[in-house]
A and B are shown apart, each in its own frame.
Chain A
Amino acid sequence: NAGVTQTPKFRVLKTGQSMTLLCAQDMNHEYMYWYRQDPGMGLRLIHYSVGEGTTAKGEVPDGYNVSRLKKQNFLLGLESAAPSQTSVYFCASSLRVPTGNEQFFGPGTRLTVL
């Protein structure tokens, strides 16, 4: 099992450019998440999905869009990148459980917007 994988690992964008980050998991997990990690601020939830074809907003959704067309994939899109979106992005997945929520994380994508 590869677990949770993310592509790309690194990316540099110019302000106004667009890009898509891909997350894939092979654990048949229902829930998937996108977080951003900024120094001293922990992880903040951008968007999440509770199943194929569903998405929902997290704590900091502005400037991002997501899609979950297949259960194993969760895409994060930046339509018009801004320097404030320079961050490390983590994808995670978890089983659909009634209580508790162990999340499995990908290795991260480091994005720099100039």
Chain B
Amino acid sequence: GEDVEQSLFLSVREGDSSVINCTYTDSSSTYLYWYKQEPGAGLQLLTYIFSNMDMKQDQRLTVLLNKKDKHLSLRIADTQTGDSAIYFCAGNNAGNMLTFGGGTRLMVKP
């Protein structure tokens, strides 16, 4: 099955950019997703990218996809304290189920 890997923790200062990285193994994933989980809540879809794209921008969020290296990243510009959360990347597999990474905890310091 697919493996999705993320680093566990990222700390940035308010106003800086954050870059959260993810690697995956299943090259047949047609969609790759970024979900955000705030404390005590469920996951909320932030953005997604179709596998034939290499970049997608949505306001402060930029998703970069390198299919050759199976590497996905999420850049948050002008990071705010409200961006503090756990971020999960996920890919859909052959059965159209999602495989999630372990999550990256983003801490934003004022």
With a cutoff of 8 Å between Cβ atoms, the chain B residues found around residue A99 in the complex are 30-31, 92, 96
Partner of B45, one of A4, A90, A102, A108: A102
With a cutoff of 8 Å between Cβ atoms, the chain A residues found around residue B44 in the complex are 105
Partner of B1, one of A4, A59, A107: A59
Q: Interface residue tally of chain B, by bracket?
A: 20 to 34
Q: B33: nearest residue on chain A (CB-CB)?
A: A102
CA A102 – CA B33 in complex, angstroms? 8
Interface check B106, CB cutoff 8 A: no
Q: Is the interface of A mostly helix, strand, loop or mixed?
A: loop
How many A residues touch B, CB cutoff 8 Å? 23
Partner of A42, one of B31, B48, B92, B100: B100
Partner of B102, one of A33, A42, A58, A105: A42
Assess whether A48 is in contact with B97, with CB atoms less than 8 Å apart.
Answer: yes
Q: B43: nearest residue on chain A (CB-CB)?
A: A105
CA A105 – CA B42 in complex, angstroms? 5
Asked if A90 meets B43 with Cβ closer than 8 Å, knowing A100-B31, A102-B48, the reply is yes
Assess whether B8 is in contact with A40, with CB atoms less than 8 Å apart.
Answer: yes
